[in-house]
C-alpha cells in the first residue's frame, strides 16, 4: 500500500517588499544602523536593491526561514512607522 509523501517543510523563503524610495534612508539608518538591527533581530538576509532610474519605488529582498522573513518585514514596518510618528 502506497501512502502519500510527507508535506515539504519550507526551510527557506524569499520575499520582495516594494517601498517608496523616500523610505530607504529611514530603513537603512545612519551608517546602516537600522538595517543592522533588523538583520540582527530577524536573522534574515536583507538586500536593498538599486531603484530603476526614474522609479519612485525600491525593492527590498528578504530571505530566510518563514519566521525570519516575517520578523524582518515587521521590523521594517515598525522602523518606518516610528519614523513617521516622530516626523
pLDDT tens digits, residue range 1-49? 445 566 667 689 999 999 899 999 988 888 999 999 999 999 999 999 9
For helices 66-86 and 33-42, give the axis angle rounded to 10 degrees: 140
Q: Which residues pair with 17 in a beta bridge?
A: 60
pLDDT score recorded for residue 1: 47
Map grid coordinates 522602523 to a residue: 79
> What would the mean pLDDT of 38-67 be, rounded to a whole number?
94
Rounded average pLDDT over 72-82:
89
- The domains of the chain, with CATH numbers, are 14-86 (3.30.1370.10)
Amino acid at each position: 500500500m502506497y501512502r502519500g509523501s510527507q508535506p515539504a517543510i519550507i526551510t527557506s523563503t524569499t520575499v520582495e517588499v516594494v517601498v517608496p524610495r523616500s523610505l530607504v534612508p529611514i530603513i537603512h539608518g545612519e551608517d546602516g544602523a537600522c538595517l543592522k538591527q533588523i538583520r540582527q533581530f530577524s536573522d534574515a538576509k536583507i538586500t536593498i536593491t538599486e531603484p530603476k532610474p526614474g522609479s519612485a519605488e525600491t525593492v527590498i529582498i528578504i530571505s530566510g526561514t518563514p519566521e525570519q522573513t516575517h520578523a524582518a518585514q515587521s521590523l521594517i514596518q515598525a522602523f518606518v512607522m516610528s519614523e513617521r510618528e516622530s516626523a
